[in-house]
Amino acid sequence: MPSNQQLARPQQVLTIANSYLKRERPATALLPVAALLVVAGVFAVTSFLPAIVVGGLLTTGFLVPLIQPRGTVRLRTDTDVTSVVDSFTSPVPPILPLQWGTADEVVVEDGIPVYTLSYLFGLRSVEISLHRDSRSISDGSHRINLQLRMDGTPWSRYAVDVYDQDGQAEIEYEYEADQRLGLRRLPQRLIADRYFEAALRAQGYTVVERNRSVTRYLKQLGCGS
């Protein structure tokens, strides 16, 4: 493999990812505007001090990292186990369609896939690198570990098990973010949920079961389940 190789990606997934971006970016941009309107409304019906308190609470919620996404997903596909393992260990794993699908480009640098994403009208960009390892386990099953790093900092982890079920592959994986997020990321995650399963279907995978939870931190506060 060349030390630096740019990859093509499935067009159908790119179309879904582009639809996601068209909704996610305006929603994320409008969130601070909505917060200002709330503060202005409180000021209009009460006084300056309550408006300051509400503004402080909203700012804290946006900026303080409270959310640590984690959960489990079970998938099914008509494809055989070997082909699924190959796809999950490729530079564009099926379960990361909104990462590599929204990237400006996907380049393999010395064996490590790198997704370059720009935002703020191209004024800023980040590089997400994908680190992979896999091994065979008992009864022909396979364990694949994926880790995303954003600009070198660990961002999220995925532990994937692939096994045979009557000649077809079933996939179970557990994911957990390495970084807690503020509530300003909530619109991004809610909109991503709408497109994630569509992007999987475009690649031949069906979601059988999906369990999500918030963060251990919120659980400790008695705010999550």
Integer Cα distance of 37 and 184 in angstroms: 16
Nearest to 13 by CA among 202, 213, 210: 202
Integer Cα distance of 195 and 107 in angstroms: 24
Residue-level pLDDT at 110: 86
Residue-level pLDDT at 216: 44
- Which amino acid would we find at residue 218? L
Residue-level pLDDT at 180: 79
Q: Is residue 105 within 8 Å of residue 119, measured between CB atoms?
A: no
Q: How far is CA 94 from the centre of its chain?
A: 12
Residue-level pLDDT at 199: 96
Residue-level pLDDT at 218: 45
Bridge partners of 143?
A: 135, 161
Integer Cα distance of 175 and 154 in angstroms: 13
Q: What is the pLDDT along the chain (225 residues), one digit of tens a residue?
A: 445 667 788 899 999 999 998 888 766 666 666 667 776 777 677 877 777 776 677 666 666 667 788 899 999 999 899 999 999 999 999 999 999 999 999 999 888 999 999 876 667 889 999 999 999 887 778 999 999 999 999 999 999 999 988 878 999 999 998 887 766 677 777 888 889 999 999 999 999 999 876 544 444 444 443
3-state DSSP call for residue 79?
coil
